[in-house]
Amino acid sequence: MLKKLQRTDVPCLVDSDDESYAYKNRVTRLSTIQEHYMIRRALDRGVLSERLASALCVDTGQLMQKATLLNGICAGAADPLKDRQFSTEVSTVLRQMKPTRQIECVELMIAANTLTVPYVRALLMATPAEMLVVGRRRLLDKGVTQEQVKRMEHEMANLQDQYKLAEQSYGEDILNLVVARGYIGKLIDNPEVMRYLRKHHEEVLEQFQSIVQSVSMEG
């Protein structure tokens, strides 16, 4: 095809990760945001939406959802998602929130490793009215009362506080664990300590050995 078009140079997406193709599909899939940029660039260069939709095996409605994926999404929320795959409906829900809330919700979704539509809808339900974009109104699911929504808001606020505290102390906690692990390793390398533990505290020794032999705690 490139020879037919007489092209010697073509734009490419380069994956910086040092990994081979997935053995199951033998492909490395584009992230949702990379696909958005690809579609947006093609449309901006004059490719007809119908032709592009046909090439990607989607209808024009789906194509336009992909093309407008980041409309109304702030950079702080989009950046953590740039290498991930998620439904375009996730963006539809996020854009109903103000930028600060978008960022909070993306952080929570990534922390839970759950970039799903039901999860982000639950976050929307738990979003205070003042954090919604003006003119947007939450649609309550059948069976969900206003009291339950208030409770969800309260629980989500607590979850966000816990997440931020854990994020702040994560690095220090990992450092302490690595230091403790190194100290335990030196202890059981001492023949006298090893003999004493084996004779008087065999269960403790087993725990120490398990800690030292465990997989590295990095990240």
Q: What pLDDT band is residue 114 in, cutting at 50, 70 and 90?
A: confident
* pLDDT single digits (tens) 60-80: 999 999 999 999 999 999 999
In this prediction, residue 211 carries a pLDDT of 80
Per-residue tokens: 142? 């059948």
In this prediction, residue 141 carries a pLDDT of 54
* pLDDT single digits (tens) 20-48: 544 444 556 789 999 999 999 999 999 99
Q: How far apart are CA 56 and CA 18, in angstroms?
A: 27
The yes-or-no verdict on residue 109 having pLDDT over 60 is yes
In this prediction, residue 139 carries a pLDDT of 54
Q: How far apart are CA 58 and CA 13, in angstroms?
A: 21
CA 153 from chain centre, in angstroms, equals 22
**Average pLDDT for the chain:** 80
The yes-or-no verdict on residue 19 having pLDDT over 60 is no
Per-residue tokens: 61? 């409605």
The yes-or-no verdict on residue 217 having pLDDT over 50 is no
* pLDDT single digits (tens) 145-181: 667 666 666 666 676 667 667 666 766 777 777 778 8
